[in-house]
Amino acid sequence: EGKATKPSFADEAVQNLLYKMTGLNLQKVFRPVKKELKPPKYKLMTEAQLEAATGKAIEEAKEKLIMPPVLNEREPIDDVLAEDKFLEGTETTKYVFTDLTYSIPHRERFIVVREPNGVLRKATWEERDRMIQIFFPKEGRRVIPPVVFKDEHLVTVFQQDRHEDILNMCIAQFEPDSPDYIRVHHRTYDDIEKHAKYDLLRSTRHFGGMVWYLVNRKKTDGLLVDMIHRDL
């Protein structure tokens, strides 16, 4: 008999279980983003209208709680295409050539680098990310990642209980299989586990990923105790 297949994060049964553990707190899901203060709006509703509005809110909340993917780190790109020694020394800077065809998926986009020593190679993932952001800007993403993602700055973010904020920023800035995306998520989960701040991510799209991380590292004792105390 073969070994039982290890469940994956994307399995439907796993997703359903993690979703149940996440919880659906409408007040938290729809809490206002910090902007200029405006007076609240009130609306008179019949029972039927209230029921319909609540149902709509629940469906919208479920959309907001869709969990980001959990992927393995991408393999480095280290492919040399040509070594043209006759070009060595003709330039002092490297040149990046990018296929700008709109219909091509970014993962399949051909991007190469010509080094000053004449080597023609495929661009690294980091170079690809920068070039794609320059030519195909994605909202919320910068060409050069903000310094807040560096480990020494994450400490301050965690002290301010901004774990959810940094994860939202991380999702916007990095691809889900990039080393930085994975590192920031793991650092955040570790800090939450260390200080038992699980409720910061409860009823957010990040809770399931945190649970999956803790389960795979056999670090669920604190989470289970927290759930028992909260009668969950």
185 close to 167: Cβ distance less than 8 angstroms: yes
The phi, psi pair for 86, rounded to 5°, reads -65, -15
Residues in the chain: 232
**The two structure tokens encoding residue 231:** 């009668």
Query: Letter for the amino acid at 24?
Result: L
What pLDDT sits at residue 232? 67
Distance CA 185, CA 209 (A): 9
**The two structure tokens encoding residue 6:** 């290890």
Crossing angle for the helix pair 179-195 and 151-159, to the nearest 10 degrees: 40
Query: What are 82's strand-pairing partners?
Result: 120
Binned average pLDDT, 10 residues per bin, the chain of 232 residues: 75 91 72 59 78 76 84 96 91 94 95 96 97 96 96 97 97 97 98 96 94 96 91 72
What pLDDT sits at residue 51? 80
* Those residues with Cβ within 8 angstroms of residue 225's Cβ, 6 or more apart along the chain or in another chain: 196
| Residue 30: strand, helix, or coil | coil
Distance CA 121, CA 115 (A): 8
66 close to 204: Cβ distance less than 8 angstroms: no
8-state DSSP, 199: G
> How far apart, in Å, are the Cα atoms of 87 and each of 82, 84, 91, 121?
11, 6, 8, 14
What pLDDT sits at residue 180? 98
| Residue 113: strand, helix, or coil | strand
What pLDDT sits at residue 31? 66
What pLDDT sits at residue 30? 63
What confidence tens digit (pLDDT) does each residue in 86-116 have?
998 888 999 999 999 999 999 999 999 999 9
What pLDDT sits at residue 150? 97
